[in-house]
Amino acid sequence: MANPKAGSQSTSIAELRKEADQLRIKLNEDRKNLDDAKLFEMGAKPDIVNYQARCRRILKGHSSKVLDLDWSLDKRRIVSSSQDGKVLVWDCFAASKEQLISLPTTWVNACAFAPSGCSIACGGLDNKCCVFPVNACSYSNSGSNVAGSATIRPSGAVGPSDVCSGSIMQQRKVVAMHTSYISACSFTHSDYQILTASGDGSCALWDVESSQLLQSFHGHQSDVMDAALNPMETGNLFISGGCDKRACVWDMRTAKCVQSFQTHKSDINSVRWFPTGEAFATGSDDATIRMYDLRADREIACYEKKSILFGINSVDFSVSGRIIFGAYNDYLVHVWDTIKGTKINSLLGHENRVSCLKMSPDGTAFCSGSWDTTLRVWA
Amino acid sequence: MSKKLSQEALRTQWQKALEGVLLKRPTDLIVDNSTFDLNDGVIIDIKDLEDQVENGKADISDIAINLKHPPRQSVYTKLSALLVEMQHATEGVQTFRQNFRALRDTSCKVSCKERERNQKDGVPDAFWTTELIRWLKQVLNIECDLEACHLATMLCKTGYIYPCNVQWNAVNFKISEPDGNMVFRYQTPFYWPNESQFPLDQDHASHLLMREANNHGIPMDEYEIMCLSRLKKVLKHQWDCITQSALTQTSFLEGCCPSDQYINAWQNYAFWRVRRPPAYYKYICKAESCLNGPNRNFPSFTETSIVPSENDKEKKTAMSPSKILTSSCKRSTGPYKLQCKAWGMSFDALLKDELGQLTFEKHLKKEFSEENLAFYLDCIYLRSAPLKELEELIQSIFSEFISPNGATPVNIDTQTLNAVKAEMKTKKTRFVFDLALEHIYKLMKKDSYKRFPSSKLFKETLETAIVPQKPEKEKGKLPKIWRLSQFLTKGKEEDPERGENNK
């Protein structure tokens, strides 16, 4: 009796699939009815913005592809990780290296700076995300201790800047353990929690001191390539993008996927929030950057051009949100006008794929890292 | 034989190609007598495809899924589609039969008879750079020359087209201007990136052997010689097989006409240039030396106890040069002008900034509602606090701000208050005060913040805010903040970058 059962199973699956498709079509129609205006049409009114940037610093020191980078909130330091297992902390203003951490694994896919600037987190193919202390803890930016602020509490762990891997490895703390590689990690609004995205299809929230898993988010059907936390302090949402072409919005309190968008045609490599925290942009292998709005619940803009064929590894917004930067595999950084949808500029400088791109916290410069082993700071 | 395809039909072909199907046209893709066949598993006859879609048997996406294309290489699909377009007889890039003689290097050792013979044959389907750039600009709507040049460079680097009879290097190859004099040919689809992803070392070795025997006008460069010697060592046990295969290939090719031989040689050369670029070689043999950069004496610098700033509480802290520089910079204790303006425009900017928090606190003190801000900040801290502090934090916030018996209860209505109390009883998570938090946030925003930009305090701060100035520069030297020597203890004239030599 196995055959008829199998037969009915497969027909019922086919039926269910049809039903799902029909529902999707109906949803799209309903969304269309709520349309009022297209973003690019509205964007035709404001003036054209001219963005010129030159490469101001070239940071050389990695011996292999640079995979990820992050700025510190003191707007001066950058941490970058590369394929050879080395994580470097740079002073981008002086173009000098401040600290080197040598990990035993290669392919460090993700690195992040803590808000206080006292520690960094990094992870990769070793399926773990570790937190290391950084030299020279920063006190508050104004140079004097602000005792009243409850948000910054430097952890005070200081070690000598050491090239030798022995002592720094002793000071590391293994925080996150996944069952597959770590593709993205970032600190939440303090030094004590980390959000990680992994190739095993889940995102997770960890407590740094106890290395405990606070919350895990399942829902992607394939590797999750990037996750980003809402920049609003009162926000509870974070977004993730994965190889199943979906971008999901999660609520941190309930661990549920609140919204999900699937309009990309290929893997999503990077997700970034719009500065106000109500929209986000995703960059994908299909050479388009798409912007989704949470309140409109749909894709509101697609930044693509016929002549741009190569996929995007990383996107970031300018501080006002008017400009989007995309790090493409054709060795260029393309600069788009968010509301007009036109390409403003293309920055040439790298000699291999641009793998990561991040705007500095004050918006005066951005840094891009590439497979040609250098990082470039543009302004 | 060549169908005259209309613009419409051309576009649908392009679309289909983009969806992952590499098309085989009735027209020849490349006039090429090479021995390599178009890989059958990937190419689908366009007639077949149209039939299937018409009969409803298949959906384009279904077919695409069943094909061999790896899922993440959508860029290769697009590039293949672009190449297919380029090769179209009338709408594509205009090619010509290049005079063979004009291409050959005069230093090539070929006998006179052969040279005469070759004059009649030409190398088919070659095109100049200008033509390529013109076509790219036209079809892809590129306005800027440089962009088109860059795209053409990428096409070359990924291995879809190659320059003829030139010794080139995939790593630093560049088409810098549209009027270049280079001649290109299409690479055979068998060699396209998405067809042959991982070429074997053995094949590389046999290719290099063939090059050694007869280099067809392009002499072997140093890198190739090094590669060959390395492969000889590594593949010692298989060397006989490899030499045998090289010999078989050469003898087969000798039967073909000279133009075919040259085409074959160029194709192989281009293929291996892209797959085994010189940088690849450096990769595997490189010593780890690059980390001893200009900061090699850095550790010694930080270990000395140079701590200039009097603000430093922990004298034993080792500080990096950048920290020393920034902490000794003359920075005002007040905010900067732009910072101030941002506070006036956005409540969130005010709250994120520490100085902003202080200023707002002062403002609230005048209105006797400073506990709102304190509650807000504590709640925000609670959300990302470490686990072990969670319990007591919740307790302290509750007793201080929520409970009516507390020191500074915040102004929330009874409904919210009861909701928070209920939450406290059922489950104490870090989000337990969220309702109250939202209420207070809205209150601050709509009420206190409304009056903030017009308040005397804010106006005064804005007036006294400074605009950052460039550091003064003494004649001929770096500005004072850059000279590290000022941090040394007096009496020693030493350059800290060279490290402490005497203790």
CA pair distance B503, B500, nearest whole angstrom: 7
Which residues of chain A lie closer than 8 angstroms to B428, CB-CB? none
Among residues B70, B77, B66, the alpha carbon closest in space to that of B14 is found at B77
Which residues of chain B lie closer than 8 angstroms to A243, CB-CB? 72
Give yes or no for residue B436 having a pLDDT over 70.
Answer: yes
**What digits encode the pLDDT tens for the residues A204-226?**
999 999 999 999 999 999 999 99
**What digits encode the pLDDT tens for the residues B33-68?**
332 233 333 344 444 545 555 555 444 444 443 333
**Which residue of chain B is at minimal alpha-carbon distance from A188?**
B384
Q: In this predicted structure, what is the pLDDT of residue B29?
A: 33
Q: What is the mean pLDDT of residues B379-405?
A: 87
Q: In this predicted structure, what is the pLDDT of residue B336?
A: 84
* Per-chain mean pLDDT for chain B: 69
| Cross-chain residue pair A192–B386, CB shorter than 8 Å | yes
Q: Which two tokens stand for residue B311?
A: 């603000």
Q: Mutating which of B60, B311, B323 best tests the A interface, going by the most A Cβ atoms within 10 A?
A: B323
Neighbour-count burial of B54, counting CB atoms closer than 10 A to its CB (0-12 exposed, 13-18 middle, 19+ buried): exposed
Question: Is residue A190 less than 8 Å (CB to CB) from chain B?
Answer: yes
Element (H, E) at B259: helix B258-275
| Cross-chain residue pair B355–A142, CB shorter than 8 Å | yes
> How many angstroms separate the Cα of B371 from the Cα of each of B354, B403, B443?
17, 13, 12
Beta-bridged to residue A123, according to DSSP, are A110, A129
Q: In this predicted structure, what is the pLDDT of residue B196?
A: 62
Question: Is residue B479 less than 8 Å (CB to CB) from chain A?
Answer: no
Q: What is the mean pLDDT of residues A4-9?
A: 65
Among residues A348, A322, A356, the alpha carbon closest in space to that of A47 is found at A322
Cβ-based neighbours of B251, under 8 Å, separated by 6 or more: none
Cβ-based neighbours of A159, under 8 Å, separated by 6 or more: A133, A135, A167, A168, A171
Cβ-based neighbours of A294, under 8 Å, separated by 6 or more: A237, A249, A259, A278, A279, A280
Question: Is residue B400 less than 8 Å (CB to CB) from chain A?
Answer: no
The shortest CB-CB distance from A330 to any of B154, B378, B437 is to: B154
Q: In this predicted structure, what is the pLDDT of residue A302?
A: 94
For the question of an ipTM over 0.85, the answer is: no
CA pair distance B103, B98, nearest whole angstrom: 8
CB B27, CB B1: distance < 8 Å: yes
The torsion region of residue B225 among left (phi > 0), alpha (psi -120 to 50) and beta comes to: alpha
Q: Which two tokens stand for residue B154?
A: 């990428």
Give yes or no for residue A114 having a pLDDT over 60.
Answer: yes
Q: What is the mean pLDDT of residues B403-424?
A: 86
**What digits encode the pLDDT tens for the residues B177-213?**
776 677 788 888 777 776 666 778 888 888 888 888 8
Question: Is residue A33 less than 8 Å (CB to CB) from chain B?
Answer: no
Q: Which two tokens stand for residue B230?
A: 């390395």
Which residues of chain A lie closer than 8 angstroms to B346, CB-CB? none
Q: In this predicted structure, what is the pLDDT of residue B197?
A: 65
Three-class secondary structure assignment of B174-200: CCCCCCCCCEEEECCHHHCCCCCCCCC
Cβ-based neighbours of B420, under 8 Å, separated by 6 or more: B402, B412, B432, B433, B435, B436
Q: In this predicted structure, what is the pLDDT of residue B308?
A: 37
pLDDT bracket for residue B333 (50, 70, 90) = low
Q: In this predicted structure, what is the pLDDT of residue B306?
A: 33
pLDDT bracket for residue B324 (50, 70, 90) = low
Q: In this predicted structure, what is the pLDDT of residue B471?
A: 66
Alpha-carbon torsion, ordered B402, B407, B412, B417, to 10 deg: 30
Q: Which of residues 121-150 of B touch A (CB under 8 A)?
A: 136, 140-142, 146-148, 150
> How many angstroms separate the Cα of A368 from the Cα of each of A331, A332, B46?
11, 10, 43
Q: In this predicted structure, what is the pLDDT of residue A250?
A: 95
Higher-scoring residue by pLDDT: B369, B334: B369
pLDDT bracket for residue B498 (50, 70, 90) = very low
* Per-chain mean pLDDT for chain A: 86
**Which residue of chain A is at minimal alpha-carbon distance from B382?**
A151
Question: Is residue A306 less than 8 Å (CB to CB) from chain B?
Answer: yes
**What digits encode the pLDDT tens for the residues A287-327?**
999 999 999 888 999 999 988 989 999 999 999 999 999 99
Q: Say which range, B13-17, B182-186, B323-327, B378-382, has the weakest mean pLDDT.
A: B13-17
Q: In this predicted structure, what is the pLDDT of residue B203?
A: 84
Q: How close does chain B come to A309, measured CA to CA in Å?
A: 6
Give yes or no for residue B456 having a pLDDT over 80.
Answer: yes
Q: Which amino acid is at A180?
A: S
Q: In this predicted structure, what is the pLDDT of residue B313?
A: 40
